[in-house]
Amino acid sequence: MVSMNDPEGIISTDEFVEVPYPDDSTLALDETLEETRSILSSVAAYLKRISKVPLLKPKEEKELFEELQIQKTLLRKIVFQFQDSNLVNPAQKERLKQLFCLKQWSANSHIKISPEILGKLQDLIDDWKTDIALEVLNEQYNRSEVSQREEFEAVLAELQLVLERTQDIQQHLVEANLLLVASIAKQFTFRDCPLSFLDLVQEGNIGLMTAVHKFRLEKGYRFSTYATWWISQAMRRALEEQGQLIRLPSYIIEARRRANHASIDLTKLLGREPKMDELADAINIAKSKLSNILQVSKDLLSLDSPIEGSDSKATVADLIRDDTAISPEEEISSQARREIMEKLLSTLSPQQARVIKLRYGLFDDNDHTLAQIGEKLKITRERVRQIELEALNKLRHPTRLHYWRELLD
């Protein structure tokens, strides 16, 4: 470069500055930063879009759910007004009867059933009745006379309007509460979280839609309070199912969570770590079952993980025994037996030795029939049998007894 301090502008080699080329770590860092910028840009765009949706006031929220309940009632009224009990499938009748009996039993039984399960049961009954009625309505339309088609078409048109209005209300309620999902997702984003913020938001939105479908205005509480549980539950379930390399059933994950909470409480109460039977009694589960759950819930360890405290490049995989591999002792013993067998076969003629090797699969574990050997040696099957017999008689001779002793030792 030209020296600015030199009036003659002479280039001095001492003034050259060496610019290092970027190494792999620098390139990887640049890629990570670029990916992070892209993710943050996507998150910002999503938050900006949902923030434009105005929040619902308590009065507006109440009015929407009241109208939603009216639309659902109207939907059932429309589909049931043409119901013909003779058209209902006997299997469907039996299924509906079982659901009603189960709900009646749960109401009268001394066994306590959670409101969540009862709510799911009622939803199942309502959905099943509606599905049956819709199927019946469709069958009646196909079997109706031409003169009755106009009446059916009017009903179907009204039904379509009700369905569209129901979907519009549900969509409005969901979109107005998307910021609630985003705020809850922030609580779940922590270091090494297996799911990204947008993935958590997507799972939370599914929980929000479930909350809109199941919310009952007559219960008296705010929808945001009710929806928070469903949103959080959907996010937790996603973290449990997708955040592990090996997916565990939900009941195992739930049992492990209960065991962890009970272990913390018992440790504070007893002043020591609880025993397995104490922990099992605390969560009302069999000791053997709890032991199995805790065993399958252990953290995974990669086979490529380096061994702690070792200066070498050894990994965990190097410590695991390979049952398919031959040990050095077996390799040496096998080589010694092979050499003895070679010496024993060297006492035969070349043709006899080859017949014995092929016939009994010596050294390659691939035995041959007499016909196959005859085809290889261009001789008859009978001649192969004779050569085999002659070779076996020689091998049984007492002069070769010391070879057999060495093989058996």
Per-residue pLDDT reduced to its tens digit, 123-172: 544 554 555 555 555 555 555 554 556 666 777 777 778 888 888 999 99
Task: Supply 147's token pair.
Answer: 């003169």
**How far, CA to CA in Å, does 144 sit from each of 20, 82, 88, 177?**
84, 11, 16, 45
Task: Supply 39's token pair.
Answer: 């993710």
pLDDT at position 113, please? Answer: 44
**Highest mean predicted confidence (pLDDT) among 86-95, 225-234, 251-260:** 225-234
pLDDT at position 33, please? Answer: 63
Between CA 95 and CA 117 the distance in angstroms is 18
**Highest mean predicted confidence (pLDDT) among 11-25, 112-126, 137-151, 282-296:** 282-296
Q: pLDDT-derived band of residue 228, with 50, 70 and 90 as boundaries? A: very high
What is the tens place of the pLDDT at every residue in 167-189?
899 999 999 999 999 999 888 87
Between CA 20 and CA 26 the distance in angstroms is 11
Which of the two residues, 315 and 16, has the higher pLDDT score?
A: 315
Task: Supply 326's token pair.
Answer: 């031959």
Between CA 99 and CA 333 the distance in angstroms is 71
Query: In percent, how much of the chain has pLDDT > 90?
Result: 8
Between CA 321 and CA 319 the distance in angstroms is 6
Give me the helix-helix angle, 146-175 and 197-214, nearest 10°: 130
Cβ-contact 231, 180 below 8 angstroms: yes
At position 356, the amino acid (one-letter code) is I
Query: In percent, how much of the chain has pLDDT > 70?
Result: 67
Task: Supply 13's token pair.
Answer: 């080699």
Q: pLDDT-derived band of residue 25, with 50, 70 and 90 as boundaries? A: low
CB atoms within 10 A of CB 323: 5
What's the start-to-end Cα distance of the chain, in Å? 83
Coil, strand, or helix at residue 11?
strand
Residue 24 has pLDDT above 70, yes or no: no
pLDDT at position 7, please? Answer: 46
**Highest mean predicted confidence (pLDDT) among 59-73, 96-110, 113-127, 232-246:** 59-73
| Model confidence, pTM | 0.51
Q: DSSP secondary-structure letter at 244?
A: S
